[in-house]
Amino acid sequence: MNNKDRLGEFEELILTIVAVLNGDAYGNSIVTEIESQLGRAVNLGGVHVTLYRLEDKGYIKSKVGGATSVRGGRRKRCYSITGAGLSLLKSIKEERQHLWKLIPQLK
Amino acid sequence: MKQDVKMPRWLLTFLRWICPDDLIETIEGDVVEQFEYDVQRVGHPRARLRAIIHTLDFVRIGIISRRNKKRSIGPMVGHFFKFSLRGMKKHPGYSFINIAGLSVALATVLLILVYVNDERSYDKFHPDADKIFRIVSTIDMGGQVMYTSFSPNALSDAVAHDYPQVEFISRASFFGTDKIVATDTKEVFAVGLAADAAFFKIFPYKFIEGDAGKPFPDNASVVITKSLALKLFGEATNNVGKVFRNGLHVSAVIDDVPDNSHLRFDYVARMMDYGKDAAVWINFGSYHYVKFKDPSDVDEMSRSINQVLLSKLSSDPRTSGFKGELVFQPLTEIHLGETTYTMEPEGKGNKQYVVIFTLLAIFILAIACINFTNLTTVRGIRRAKEIGLRKTIGAYRLQLVAQLLGESLMAVCIAMLFAIVISALALEPFNAMVGKNLSFNIQTFGTPLLISLGAMAASGLLSGIYPAVILSSVHPSMLMKGAHGTSLGGGTLSRSLVVLQFVFSILIISGTLVVYSQLRYIRTKNLGYQRENVIRVHDWSKTYPTFKSELLQVPGIQAICALDQNLIDVIGGGGIDWPGRTTNGVPIVNGLTVDCDFLKTMKITLMKGRDFYSDAELDTAAVIVNEEAVKLLGVADPLGLKIRGITKGRLEVVGIVKDFHFRSIHESVTPLFINQRNIGNFYTNMLIRIEGDPQRNIDAIEKAWKKFNPQKSFVYSFLDDDLQAMYHSEEITEVLFKVFAAIGIVTACLGLFGLSSYTAEMKSKEYSIRKIFGASSSNLFYSSTIGHLVLVLIATTIAMPVGYYLADRWLSSFAYHASLSVWPFALGGMMATALALITVGSQAMKVIVTRPSVTLRSE
């Protein structure tokens, strides 16, 4: 894992949530999911910017989905995790696990 | 209830304004969904507030920067280039004509500008060039005015003493061009100058070695240039103190004199002080350069020094009645000055040619630009449907103009790149042709490149504007229908442009013919002596009489004579007086000193009196004059007339010869007094008339030369080659004219080709229908060519009087010139017409051989 591949905390969160929502991730669903799972309030704008950035990096991909009446007939852009994104998540987890094992208090 | 709780409109507008086009829909969707969700959870007013916060939260660099990235500018530029290139590819012929014509023309213009720029740059490299002047003289010789770049010998002392406004004054005089400089081991040709120490204050050349403040520590000091040092000693440094074979020793080494200096030399030796006899006002013996502290003092100084000159000369009975003046000639105006001064250093420029070349460059550029305009129009019209479609879809007029103009500008840019490459490649041959040493770098090419870039942009815009505006103004339905009638293409404007093009071409062609006829006139004109089979040895042999008699034993050698000056450029002379003189003051005439065989060697006709006796001792007072001199003397029978002047003793006219040319044919023959002397070292060169195989004779002369002059190298040339070299600038003009004429007429014909093929295409249906109705081939040929040929004929009619006038003015700058007939102009017109006929005719032939079914089937 080189430096370029490092994710910020918020980026990692969004990437994980996109993986959790499994194809049904779009702006609002991500905000709601974070709120319901972690009780943390996030801004829509921040989520969007992070999504675009992650997409640029190639960890998630998007598809413009069908319109719903809730949104005034506007379509939504649904995100799903890519192979690269998934393996990045895995490697982050392994890295953490490795470090966890080294914490003496937890032994 | 949903209808009641709506997002404020302005928020959505704001979002649209900041967000990228491709993302706005989903962002808006998310914001709206969030808003609706909030309304249900927290009520309308708070939801509204949250919506505002959410919206403003999108003002992020991560969002806004995406907007510019993918804005339509990218695709538009790409689209423009794609269409331009497609357009070029679709009609490779037109693109080629268009770009090739323009490239060649621009390359030509570039080279000419480089040349003109160089000519105009002479002597401007000196710091304070505006403060430096040369004092030249205008002498009224009783009816005829003589201009000489020499000025009185007494000048330098007088100026140095009495005129504090002059910072420095220096005399300068050439040792004679191409003298040999020798060290113990090497011999090279070098141009030497004699000058005062102040010379290096006026012209501050950089001293690589030696003391700039004291360039001549003693009388045998010599300052040499870096390249002479390299040639002589093989190194540029450590040369101070080295000696020449004649005893001079190097006191300093300076930078080389730039090519664009009117005064070029390889070394400068100290000029000896004048003796009492020489430092007089009537002796116009050397150049004088002055540097003023303040150049505005020149007028006053000039008035004052002329008063001194006149008062000095009129106080002496021998020189009283002198008329003439000294002129302060600005340094930077020497090279291209309009007056031809005698004694001018070699390589003086000719303002007339600079003007002519500039004019030619403008003509060529105009021809190419007109082509460009016409061809762009034609191509634009061929794309009428594309433009119609664009208009229908909703292209703004400005967009269309931008597209068409942009395309023509792009073509110009491509042409410019080619032009730079072409001119860089052509620079070597061009240098050889004009005898310059221009290099391809930013100094020489910078300004011309900027000028041509400017001209290029202007011509691109001008050539593009017409088609762009015309095409974009036509109603799309017209364009779509393909109603591209004559009103669009072969309009009055493009027809008159073709006429203009051919006027220029014909002018250039007839110019070439006129220059050619004048050169042939020069080459064949009877100069008054026989120029063929004469070898000029550029030095004088020791023990000349023995050398001469031994050489005359050689079967091929017919006659030998020695002269004190180069026969083709006699410049020496002085004032003379004689009993019965009626002229105002003493006239100054040219004088030539020869040995007794001069007339015999050169085969000059003696009209009256006798030739020199072969025993010079008995004949020291004899002088032979030419017909012009007889006119000047104004005496019924000048034979036996006693003349004072020229040499110190009294002379007696013993013979009269037919006028012969002893200077450039630009100048009229002036009075000439020939006398003989036998003081050997007075002569500077020898003329030898030979017969039979030249090489064998040269070998014989060289053998004799080596025998008598083992120290000196043998330098010779043929007299007719020297004469040809004298008219070098005329020859350059002729060659350049030929090249220009070819480029001009070919470019014009390329343009005509484009236009006529366009009309042929437009009218292909008309011709096919005519054919079906029984029109004969000749009929069709006539009707498809006559339109264009009429234009060429109109051009001929306009070009002929204009060309005649210009040619007449050019020829009158020669004192002797070929007579001007209408032939060059008729021939120019005929050539242009013939070439146009071939061009247009080839298109007509294509029309004729096409079967009507081919063109008519398509509908």
pLDDT digits (tens, 9 = 90+) for B410-438: 888 888 889 889 988 888 888 887 777 78
Q: Which of B719, B638, B720 is nearest to B673 (CA)?
A: B638
B178 — pLDDT class (breaks 50, 70, 90): low
The pLDDT value given to residue B268: 92
- Give a three-class secondary structure readout of B38-79: HHHHHCHHHHHHHHHHHHHCCCCHHHHHHHHHCCCHHHHHHH
Is A27–B30 a contact, with Cβ atoms under 8 angstroms apart?
yes
Is A44–B62 a contact, with Cβ atoms under 8 angstroms apart?
no
Q: Which of B325, B286, B280, B281 is nearest to B306 (CA)?
A: B325
Kindly list the residues from chain B whose CB atom is less than 8 angstroms away from the CB atom of residue A44.
Answer: 30-31, 34, 54, 57-58
Q: Which residues of B fall below an 8 Å CB-CB distance to A?
A: 23, 25-34, 36-37, 53-54, 57-60, 62-63, 66
The pLDDT value given to residue B3: 46
Which whole-number Å values give the CA distances from B511 to B356, B731, B750, B810, B832, in the listed order?
Answer: 10, 13, 21, 10, 13
Kindly list the residues from chain A whose CB atom is less than 8 angstroms away from the CB atom of residue B36.
Answer: 70
> Is it the case that residue B241 has pLDDT exceeding 70?
yes
CB B192 within 8 A of CB B179: yes
* Residues B13-28, mean pLDDT to the nearest whole number: 82
> Is it the case that residue B135 has pLDDT exceeding 90?
yes
From the list B32, B53, B57, the residue facing A74 with the nearest CB is B32
The pLDDT value given to residue B292: 92
Q: What phi and psi values does residue B180 have, to the nearest 5 degrees?
A: -90, 135
The pLDDT value given to residue B70: 45
B33 — pLDDT class (breaks 50, 70, 90): confident
From the list A44, A52, A53, the residue facing B57 with the nearest CB is A44
The pLDDT value given to residue B1: 38
CA-based nearest distance A67→chain B, Å: 9
The pLDDT value given to residue A107: 66
Per-chain mean pLDDT for chain B = 81
* Residues B617-641, mean pLDDT to the nearest whole number: 82
Q: Where are the beta strands (DSSP E) in chain A?
A: 60-67, 75-81
Question: Model confidence over B504-541: pLDDT tens digits?
Answer: 888 888 888 888 888 788 777 788 888 888 888 887 77
Question: Model confidence over A51-106: pLDDT tens digits?
Answer: 988 988 889 998 887 667 777 778 888 899 999 999 999 999 999 899 988 888 87
The pLDDT value given to residue B464: 67
CA dihedral B633, B639, B642, B646 (to 10 degrees): 60
- Which percentage of chain A shows pLDDT scores above 70? 91
Alpha helices in B661-763 (DSSP H): 694-708, 719-726, 728-762
Is A27–B66 a contact, with Cβ atoms under 8 angstroms apart?
no
Lowest mean pLDDT among B157-171, B295-309, B589-603, B642-656: B642-656
Testing the interface with B: which of A74, A75, A79 to mutate, by most B Cβ within 10 A?
A: A74
B304 — pLDDT class (breaks 50, 70, 90): very high
> Is it the case that residue B675 has pLDDT exceeding 70?
yes
CA atoms of B687 and B602, how far apart (whole Å): 8
Kindly list the residues from chain A whose CB atom is less than 8 angstroms away from the CB atom of residue B30.
Answer: 26-28, 44, 48, 71, 76
First to last CA, chain B: 64
Is A45–B29 a contact, with Cβ atoms under 8 angstroms apart?
no
Question: Model confidence over B319-374: pLDDT tens digits?
Answer: 777 788 899 999 999 988 888 787 778 777 778 788 888 888 888 888 887 777 77
Which whole-number Å values give the CA distances from B673 to B259, B619, B760, in the listed order?
Answer: 37, 15, 72
Is B54–A44 a contact, with Cβ atoms under 8 angstroms apart?
yes
CA atoms of B235 and B139, how far apart (whole Å): 46
Is B26–A64 a contact, with Cβ atoms under 8 angstroms apart?
yes
> Is it the case that residue B731 has pLDDT exceeding 50?
yes
Kindly list the residues from chain A whose CB atom is less than 8 angstroms away from the CB atom of residue B15.
Answer: none
- Nearest Cα residue in chain B from A49: B62
> Is it the case that residue B578 has pLDDT exceeding 50?
yes
The pLDDT value given to residue B551: 85
> Is it the case that residue A9 has pLDDT exceeding 60?
yes
The pLDDT value given to residue B454: 78
> Is it the case that residue B758 has pLDDT exceeding 80?
no
Number of residues written out for chain B: 859
Q: Which residues of B409-433 are buried (b: 16+ CB within 10 A; e: fewer)?
A: bbbbebbbebbbebbeebbeebbeb
The pLDDT value given to residue B56: 84
Q: What phi and psi values does residue B318 have, to the nearest 5 degrees?
A: -75, -25
Q: What phi and psi values does residue B96 have, to the nearest 5 degrees?
A: -65, -50
CA atoms of B286 and B343, how far apart (whole Å): 9
B68 — pLDDT class (breaks 50, 70, 90): low
Kindly list the residues from chain B whose CB atom is less than 8 angstroms away from the CB atom of residue A45.
Answer: 54, 57-60, 63
Question: Model confidence over B315-330: pLDDT tens digits?
Answer: 877 777 778 889 999 9
Is A49–B62 a contact, with Cβ atoms under 8 angstroms apart?
yes
Query: Which three-class secondary structure state does DSSP give residue B271?
Result: coil
Kindly state the DSSP code that residue B257 receives in the 8-state scheme: P
Longest dimension (CA), chain A: 56
Lowest mean pLDDT among B247-261, B467-481, B761-775, B820-834: B467-481
The pLDDT value given to residue B61: 78
Is A71–B33 a contact, with Cβ atoms under 8 angstroms apart?
yes
The pLDDT value given to residue B53: 85
Higher pLDDT: B712 or A83? It is A83
- Give me the interface pTM, i.e. the ipTM: 0.85
Query: Which three-class secondary structure state does DSSP give residue B594?
Result: strand
Testing the interface with A: which of B33, B42, B56 to mutate, by most A Cβ within 10 A?
A: B33
Whether the pTM exceeds 0.80: the reply is: no
The pLDDT value given to residue B552: 86
The pLDDT value given to residue B71: 44
The pLDDT value given to residue B267: 92
The pLDDT value given to residue B175: 79
* Residues B498-502, mean pLDDT to the nearest whole number: 86
From the list B32, B36, B60, the residue facing A49 with the nearest CB is B60
- Which tokens in the block code for residue B182? 């020798």
The pLDDT value given to residue B326: 92
CA atoms of A14 and B371, how far apart (whole Å): 64
Q: Which of B2, B679, B77, B660 is nearest to A71 (CA)?
A: B2
From the list A70, A72, A77, the residue facing B26 with the nearest CB is A77
Query: Which three-class secondary structure state does DSSP give residue B563?
Result: strand
- Which percentage of chain B shows pLDDT scores above 90? 9
Q: Which distant-in-sequence residues (6+ apart) come within 8 Å of B721 by Cβ? A: none
The pLDDT value given to residue B149: 87
> Is it the case that residue B2 has pLDDT exceeding 60?
no
From the list B23, B32, B66, the residue facing A72 with the nearest CB is B32
From the list B33, B60, B63, the residue facing A28 with the nearest CB is B33
